[in-house]
Structure 1
Amino acid sequence: MQRLADKTVVVTGAARGIGQAIAEVAAREGAAVALFDLDAVALAETAGELAATGARVFALPVDVTDEGAVADGMSQVVRAFGRIDVLVNNAGRNVYADPVAMTSAEWDGVFDVDLKAAFLCAKHVLAGMKERGGGSIVNIASLHAKLTCAGMYPYAAAKSGLVGLTRSLALEVAPFGVRVNAVSPGYIRTALVDEYLAGHADPDAEREVLRAQPLGRIGTPHEVAETVCFLASDAASYVTGADWAVDGGLGVRFA
């Protein structure tokens, strides 16, 4: 449908999983896509696959927790494509930490990627968006921002903060025509979910997860990407400050 035609979309954590799927759908919808990721090898592979489809692609290894690197990366995207219309803050990480044994450095490592990076990336695209009177930011949060389980400390806290940032930032930039939304995936077939299930003490953990899913299955990265790219597009022009669940109905189930 070319909903993102003539737009430039920056995706962080774009080398694999949900980020890679977002880049693929954005390119399909006509966008020029800029891919940020720390994994230079996987990033080059993803960029090469997209370029082979005829997409306009710019890939750059960027540490999104480093403000200097973020500022330089965004400037390079503007030089390559002229402007930035959409930012998707997808980069994220988790640790499985004990709240007593966890160190301050480990805590900061999670919050730097899951929350601070979204602030830094938004900071360095908003001047251009405000000047042009439009733009869209989509933050990839998680079902864990509202409902969580033991063993996800402090991931749930970081993702809750990201939803709060979404709401607050949406109000700050609404007068300039810039929209900010969040997407909260549930169980999606990504490396993070596979790692969680593989490391679970219960060997039947995946069977139990599937039993709890109203739609009876785990979602795919592209199902998240479709929602993200809709929110990024002008088709969602009256949506801001929202947190959209893409969780197969898990978040509304009474357990």
Structure 2
Amino acid sequence: MPDLDGRVAVVTGGSRGIGRAIVHRLRAEGARVASLDVTPPDATESFDAADLHLDADVTDERAVAEAVERATTELEAAPTILVNNAGVNAYFDAAEMTSAQWDDFFALDLKACWITARALLPAMRAARQGAVVNVASIHATLTQPGRFPYAAAKAGILGLTRSLALDEGPNGIRANAVCPGLVDTQLSREGFARDGHGVTVESLASEHPVGRVGTPLDIAELVVFLASDARAGFITGAAIPIDGGVGVRLS
């Protein structure tokens, strides 16, 4: 029997890239999956799409609450797995970033993780079962110049994860974070092309001890492991790097 058979999961940002791979792997393990994403599912992706796509802005509290209610109704069970994957890369000069830009960025990359967790926690508490997996970044603990305020938002996710793990553990709910390094996604490639410095995904492969950059499926496998009570039932409050060993060089 698939490991997550009968469970319902919510994945934010599940239309493409890492999120789409997470959806694919959760479904392969038997879960029914709702994706909350303002971007339509990418028809060119090789991974399975979600059972239910909900056009929901995860920074909008009402939209998230309505999406969770719809997912519960249409997938015929309350979600007990949450993967907070939605986010953007945003790098600013600390002296030039505006308060409005700060608020917009942190609303998606940090606050939305709390908004979605808050929407799902009542049902998880009632079931006395739940797994929250937050997608952070290696930049949460090890960073480089020019990553302001991305590193700050991702570090905040780790604090949020630890607090959820402590407060919700007695309710049967686990919370963990994954911290990817460079992953070969369309978003990463677009970012390198926009920078115009000649850096490519391929050119950075040799910087990794394993000799390659990550794939969306690499991240998805770890997320699914952490979502599983059978495999990871004794893991909570963890922040697990998945970076091909490059963090060893950054430290």
- Tell whether the 8 Å contact from 1:36 to 1:59 is kept in structure 2 after alignment: yes
Question: Hey, what does 2:48 align to over in structure 1?
Answer: 50
- Are residue 241 (structure 1) and residue 219 (structure 2) matched? no
Taking the aligned partners of 2:242 and 2:46, their CA distance within structure 1 comes to 28
Q: CA deviation at 1:197?
A: 2.2
Q: Structure 1, residues 28-50: CA drift from partner, whole Å, max 9, x if none?
A: 1111010110013x36x489973
Q: CA deviation at 1:202?
A: 3.2
Taking the aligned partners of 1:46 and 1:210, their CA distance within structure 2 comes to 25
Question: Hey, what does 1:83 align to over in structure 2?
Answer: 78
Equivalent in 56, 62, 65 of residue 62 of structure 1? 56
Change (3 A) 1:105 1:152: same
Equivalent in 122, 125, 132 of residue 120 of structure 2? 125
Question: Residue 17 of structure 1 aligns to which amino acid in structure 2?
Answer: G
Q: CA deviation at 1:251?
A: 1.3
Q: CA deviation at 1:78?
A: 0.9
Q: CA deviation at 1:209?
A: 2.5
Taking the aligned partners of 1:224 and 1:137, their CA distance within structure 2 comes to 15
- Tell whether the 8 Å contact from 2:16 to 2:45 is kept in structure 1 after alignment: no
Question: Hey, what does 1:136 align to over in structure 2?
Answer: 131
Question: Hey, what does 1:193 align to over in structure 2?
Answer: 188
Question: Hey, what does 2:162 align to over in structure 1?
Answer: 167
Question: Hey, what does 1:179 align to over in structure 2?
Answer: 174
Q: CA deviation at 1:200?
A: 3.5
Equivalent in 208, 211, 218 of residue 213 of structure 2? 218
Q: Structure 1, residues 43-67: CA drift from partner, whole Å, max 9, x if none?
A: 6x4899736xxxx711110000000
Q: CA deviation at 1:10?
A: 0.6
Taking the aligned partners of 1:10 and 1:164, their CA distance within structure 2 comes to 21
Taking the aligned partners of 2:48 and 2:200, their CA distance within structure 1 comes to 35
Number of matched residues? Answer: 249
Question: Hey, what does 2:110 align to over in structure 1?
Answer: 115
3-state SS in 1 of match to 2:105? helix
Change (3 A) 1:47 1:252: closer
Question: Residue 246 of structure 2 aligns to which amino acid in structure 1?
Answer: L
Change (3 A) 1:37 1:206: closer
Question: Hey, what does 2:35 align to over in structure 1?
Answer: 35
Question: Hey, what does 1:6 align to over in structure 2?
Answer: 6
Percent of residue pairs identical: 45
Q: Structure 1, residues 158-217: CA drift from partner, whole Å, max 9, x if none?
A: 000001100111101000010000000001001332133223453246566223211111
Question: Hey, what does 2:246 align to over in structure 1?
Answer: 250
3-state SS in 1 of match to 2:48? helix
Deviation above 3 Å: which 4+ runs of structure 1? 45-51, 199-202, 204-208
Question: Residue 57 of structure 2 aligns to which amino acid in structure 1?
Answer: D
- Tell whether the 8 Å contact from 2:209 to 2:244 is kept in structure 1 after alignment: yes
Change (3 A) 1:36 1:207: closer
3-state SS in 2 of match to 1:199? helix
Taking the aligned partners of 1:253 and 1:49, their CA distance within structure 2 comes to 32
Question: Hey, what does 1:209 align to over in structure 2?
Answer: 204
Taking the aligned partners of 1:164 and 1:95, their CA distance within structure 2 comes to 20
With structure 2 as the length reference, what TM-score do the two structures score? 0.93
Question: Residue 8 of structure 2 aligns to which amino acid in structure 1?
Answer: T
Unmatched runs of 5 consecutive residues or more in structure 2: none
CA RMSD in angstroms comes to 2.0
